[in-house]
Amino acid sequence: MAKGAVVITMDADLQDNPDEIPALYDLIIKDDFDLISGWKKKRYDNLITKNIPSKLFNAAARKTSGLKLNDFNCGLKAYKNIVIKTVKVSGEMHRYIPVLAKNEGFTKIGEKVVQHQARKYGVTKFGMDRFINGFLDLITISFLSKFGKRPMHLFGLWGSLMFLFGTTTALYIGVLKLYKVFNDIKTILITDNPWFFIALTSMILGTLLFLAGFIGELIIKTKSNEKHYSIKEKLNF
């Protein structure tokens, strides 16, 4: 519902200082950043239950996303309005709004050190379950950012390799069996050879992976054809 040029979010537990708002606003308007993320460099949280898990979480997010941010999960952020309207957030993906914005083409993303105030009211919502869910969401976003628009590059590649491995193994087993039969060499049934089942499984999995990539490409193609565009700005000539 926001209509302003700049949208600023902050936590509701009084750990964020509203005095930071003017500086965040200026970075968006004057320096033309798409998104500014707060960095609570000095924190007043529990070292074991909050600070250390947060550092691990942010290190993993930097490595997978390529964004050099120190605090992805800081609630104090400033955005251009168009960023808010474009980025789609679901579930607990709010932790990765900078990554989602980057995936949508907003590349001018910065960071500003902000004041962190000790909690006076309420309790932290950050527990072990959110820590685990955060890393699972990170894997999802990392996958989508790399292969979300080209699933065939992942599934098709691995499917083809597995099918090729299975086919080659099956041919080798068959040729070896025929060679031993024609030369009166003692041999076993092909179905008694464990490599037969490995080859069969590889071919089946390879086919399924290839089909998954192909179906993914069809879905993306169908959705791209159904996009509806709307004019967001009026241009005066």
pLDDT, tens digit (0-9, with 9 covering 90-100), for 154-202: 898 999 999 999 999 999 999 998 988 888 888 888 888 899 999 999 9
Give the pLDDT mean for 222-229.
Answer: 58
The total number of structural domains in the chain stands at 2
- Residue 230 falls inside a structural domain: no
Return the pLDDT at 138. 74
- Residue 126 falls inside a structural domain: yes
My answer on whether 158 and 87 are in the same domain is no
Q: What percent of the chain has pLDDT over 90?
A: 32
* DSSP structural state of residue 199: H
The whole-angstrom separation of Cα 169 and Cα 177 is 12
Boundary of a domain, candidates 147, 180, 209: 147
State both tokens at 203: 């071919």
Q: How many helices (H) and strands (E) does the chain have?
A: 7, 4
My answer on whether 21 and 50 are in the same domain is yes
Cβ neighbours of 154 (radius 10 Å): 16
My answer on whether 130 and 184 are in the same domain is no
- Residue 39 falls inside a structural domain: yes
Return the pLDDT at 229. 47
Query: Whole domain around residue 11: which residue ranges?
Result: 6-147
The DSSP string of 82-144 is HHHHH----TTGGGGHHHHHHHTT---EEEEE--BPPP-SS-----HHHHHHHHHHHHHHHHH
Which pTM value belongs to this model? 0.63
Q: Say whether pLDDT at 123 is over 50.
A: yes
Is the Cβ–Cβ distance between 78 and 24 less than 8 Å?
Answer: yes
| Averaged pLDDT of the chain | 82
Give the pLDDT mean for 140-157.
Answer: 80
Confidence band of 131 (pLDDT split at 50, 70, 90): low
